[in-house]
Each structure stands twice: as structure tokens, then as C-alpha cells.
Structure 1
């Protein structure tokens, strides 16, 4: 489904835009012109060891931690919700929720789709285009399934910006990263069933 749309832009660009003449760039590139003399860190370099984070009581080195909601720290929850849900994936033809009212774009991608691996879909009795229910501990949405081998069998994916199938009702707003303030938009646990 998505591959069909990807060629849509390329076809328009190639058929409408014709390069007939290049304009000379009036100024040559000047290396580091206007550069502040380094990064906005005390050392002016990339700080892998952040003294500022250390002063604030955080780990000064980058650390990879398991998400708050995932099969490893919450095995009991993972038994009920065995799949990892990725949300926030943006489609190239839309800017967040804007341009959804442009008929040509809407006709190409009118609704949210649940990307699901063929192996996972078969185990749940879900075929391409079937309506599937996606449920997390926080809510439930329904949308058509898009069966694709481009996604891991342990993971499903919902796109960003569709009001009718809003993936935000499934995500956890409570588990917030203390440094960045971001939430786990790519790590919620869920279960899927054929509707």
C-alpha cells in the first residue's frame, strides 16, 4: 500500500519539473562561516561525558535502558499484551495532521493502517485489509491491517495523525524520560485481534 504511494511524488516531480538552466550561485561556500567556534557545551566539543547532567544528578554518560513498558521489566503485562506497538510514524505525504483534507492525498492514504508481520497476522487469523482491534492497558482502536514482511513479528505499527484511529489513546503519558521529557511512543505493549 505504502509503496504505491511512494512513487506518486516521484512521478509528479519527474513529469512536471524540467531543469533547463542552472543559476550560478553568487557566493562560494565559506567553510565554517558564522560558526560559533564549537558546540554550545563548556568544552565547545561534543560532550559524551556531560558535566551539566552530572551537576543535575543524572548519569553523565549515555546509557541505554529498557523502556518502562516492555517485555523485560514487565513480563506479567507482556503475557496479556504480547506485542510491542510503535506509534508516531509519520507518512511522507502529510505534515502531522495537516493536509488530510486534500483529496488527492486522501485518496492515496485515507485511513490509518496497522502494519503487522505475515507470521503474526496468520497466527491471529488476520488477513491484509481485515479490520483489527489494537488494545493496550490504556485504550483500544480499530483499523484495517496492512500485512507486510517489513516489520518484525514481535512488533506492530500505527501511523501518526489520524483522528479516526488515534494511536495516542494507546500510549502511556506517565512514563516520561526525566531528562528529555519524551514518552515511549515506540515501546507500548499491546494485543491485536481480528474484529
Structure 2
């Protein structure tokens, strides 16, 4: 019998195990923004817990491509490093997962304000009926594991930043019998009066 889907707490334990290889693809209608692929790594670090909640620090980093792959406005950033941090917060009662921006200039990696809550959907074949909803790409299938021995847990969350709407979706691929997290992906779709951008991320363990 297949195991039930992992709880948010179990998911975070799986995420915080390995270092994840990150492949990011960016598409934007703004010629001054990066269009193309970035490579990097991502980690989850367990922070101090309280009785009510537990925080994990998500950290991603990598290196910008050569100047020929960058728009003219960003040519000076060629081969420079990039990084980003978020707090993934688990509330214990009820068990809920949320993502938070990290306070700028905080040496202790404090959560600042909410990015989005995770709305989990346990059916990998959920139909998308609204033009305003987007599904994360199917996570990479590891070599040697048939697809019918895996299953996918999806989650979504939205964030309004002034006039720009950020719609985020996640997909986590688990082994059907052991519930081991094999790979995962995310999609950020940004729409606004002067912004149209899509960021696709694929994560596999190193």
C-alpha cells in the first residue's frame, strides 16, 4: 500500500537534507531583464524553533553568465554571484507552511513579511480552469525510477506587490512507497501594468 503524502513538517525535513542543484529559466518581456538560464544551488537550514512555529532558511546562490548572455543594462554583472533568501515557516497548530521575505540587513535572518502561504493539492493532475492560475513544471524523474513508482504533491500561493501579482506554484516528486523526496520544481509568474515575467526552477539533489 502506498504511503500517504508527507506532512509539511516531513516535507521540510526532506528538503533540508541535501544540497539541491538549481536550474533556473527566466522569461521576461522587459529587454533589460535576464532572459535565459541560470545555474546554482539551494539549501534549507533549520533555524531556532519556538513552541508555535519552526523556521527554515532557504538560500539560493549561483553565478551570472558571461556578458554576451546578459542584457546591456546588466553587462557589468557578468560572472558576478547572485543569491536570495527566504524563510519557510511551519506553524505547528494547525500544521501550515508559509514563505516569508528575509528582513533586509538582518544578520540573524529574521522573517520580515509574508510572501505566500502554501495551498497543498495532493492530485498531480489537477486541472487549471482559470487563466490566472499556473502549474509548476513536472519535477525531473531520476534515472532508474519508473514514473509509476512516483507521485507529485502540488502547492500554490499568491502575493500582491503593489500593482504586481506574483503567482507561485510548486511540485514535489516523491517515491510512491517510501515517500522519499526525489526532486521538485517551482514556477513564479509575475504580471503587472509594466511587468510580465516567468521564472521556472528545477531542483535535484547533488
TM class by smaller structure: under 0.3
Q: Which has the larger radius of gyration?
A: 1
* Higher RCO (C-alpha under 8 Å, 6+ residues apart): 1
TM-score normalised by length of structure 1? 0.23
From the two aligned structures, give the one with the greater strand fraction. Answer: 2
Q: Which has the higher helix share?
A: 1
TM-score by length of 2: 0.22
